[in-house]
Amino acid sequence: MKSKKKDGNQAKNEYKIQCMELSIAKIEETVNEIKKYISRTRSTLDAHINRQYSEIRVIERDGEWGDYSGTFYVNDEEEQAMVLQKAKEHFKTYFEDGIHHNDKKLGLFLFSPRSGKRLIEEMKT
């Protein structure tokens, strides 16, 4: 009688061990999927954080750089020179001969996470 009881307990224990092994395998699979997702998310975030952009700002009466019009981003297909050209075209279209910013000094800035904000060019209307 005792040997049957031992065999029954042993079978139960083996079944429990198999269930735990399957659970652990499923958890490992889930962890690997999460690692892949985090890696893709990190790559996307890095690409977003590290992109450069430019904008046009106007010097206010107190001499500080104030309001701006337009932000111009570098995407995968564009390079720094292209984004600066976009900003310069925006200046020519909306500011160069405009009435609102007549006789004002404006600045073309380039922003980069690594180098920060840099004044590229000062322009007058």
Per residue of the chain (125 residues), give pLDDT as tens: 556 666 778 888 999 999 999 999 999 999 999 998 898 888 778 767 777 778 888 888 888 888 777 777 766 566 778 888 888 888 888 888 777 777 788 888 887 766 678 888 888 87
Task: Supply 106's token pair.
Answer: 């404006």
Separation between Cα atoms, residue 82 and residue 122, nearest integer Å = 18
Separation between Cα atoms, residue 94 and residue 23, nearest integer Å = 64
Boundaries of every domain in the chain: 1-49, 53-124
